[in-house]
Structure 1
């Protein structure tokens, strides 16, 4: 699975769900404002446990949008280095949305979310009911720009990865069955095709 870079606007959001980002597929950068003296223990302890997959950047200057410009700069650098990665800005600041739209037009997979729990892979990890899981899978398939699985076997493997390999074979089969019942996927023997908006 491709890297997921999570850039957190710590001036704007102080996430309490940081442990959800400890999975290997996440790399995290926490941007701390010049006037912020500390980060919470929860954030610091997760960053330490993640090792070289996590870091923080403390802004040295203050001023309107100073932290936002730093996020934009690092997002640009990372997307040049790894154009196929997924990028997530965690911020309630809607000012990022124009940047997100511009980067999407350049074929960069980027989104802004208001909290860590809105990240698709985190949603998948905390989803409990079958309906929630199916909804998460549809969302990931619809929004992903990556090649979608074309066989039942690879779809099952992708769903398993979405849920951090925590599902049983019967639970995965149940999700595929529900996707088929909803008309989201069409299963033809071992082949799979997609019939929802945004999924070709």
Structure 2
């Protein structure tokens, strides 16, 4: 997130459906953000009774909005975030920074639209530690699997970034988001070298990873 110490006004939009633990930071966030909007369709999240007075004051001062969507359909909370991001963009000063808390990558489109309107914005995702560990294990497994594929296809390797990404996605049968993570790890470990849009490969590192 942007540094709260730079005195830029910040807006926080929370997708409570997939980031319910964000409520634990609500009191702290009220000190750091000009306005907070929490969107949800169905939620069993709870708050301490000691918070009721301060949260009620924040609501009365229009600093905190709790938006329950009228329907509980798929992505209902996402549409709420989209709506209020646009509303707040029109209402607040141009230097306002938008932070969207959600694990839903579809909301990256909202971030891109805000940026296209000369605003600054970011999406921040959170995963439980157990899920993070499982995700890391999956990524390591897919990285090894793709290095085995590269080792077996020395003459049929993708030569450009886009074709490599598509190859990772289709060959490993994974989502593009995971494919990008595999690609980033290939770059980070210098297994592949990106020059412009062209790709070259380090055969020794491919063989070493494939042998794991």
- TM-score with structure 2 setting the length: 0.48
Matched residue count: 113
1:10-45 Cα shifts (integer Å, max 9, x gaps): 111111222221316431111121x33x44114964
Cα distance change of structure 1 residues 94 and 25 upon mapping to structure 2, 3 Å threshold:
closer
Does 1:17 find its partner at 2:25? Answer: yes
Q: 1:103 to 1:41 in 2, by over 3 A?
A: same
| Match 1:93 to one of 81, 100, 104 | 104
Unaligned 5+ segments in structure 1 are: 116-200
Partner of 2:81: 71
What is the alpha-carbon root mean square deviation over aligned residues? Answer: 2.2
Cα separation, 1, equivalents of 2:78 and 2:119: 18
What is aligned with 1:62? Answer: 72
Unaligned runs of 5+ in 2: 1-6, 127-212
Paired residues of 2:100 and 2:122 also in contact (CA < 8 A): yes
Q: Secondary structure at the match of 2:31?
A: coil
Moved over 6 A (4+): none
Residue 111 of structure 1 is matched in structure 2 by 122
- In 1, are the aligned partners of 2:99 and 2:122 still within 8 Å (CA)? yes
- TM-score normalised per structure 1: 0.50
More off after superposition, 24-33 vs 3-12:
24-33
Which has the larger helix fraction? Answer: 2
Residues 1:59 and 1:85: Cα distance change in structure 2 (over 3 Å): same
> 1:100·1:110 contact (CA, 8 Å) conserved in 2?
yes
- 1:39-96 Cα offsets, whole Å, 9 max, x none, are 4114964633534211200001122212111110110011011132111111111111
Residue by residue, what CA displacement relative to the aligned partner does 1:85-120 show, whole Å, maximum 9, x if unpaired? 1111111111111221222122111111125xxxxx
Q: Distance in 2 between matches of 1:79 and 1:67?
A: 18
* Structure number, greater radius of gyration: 2
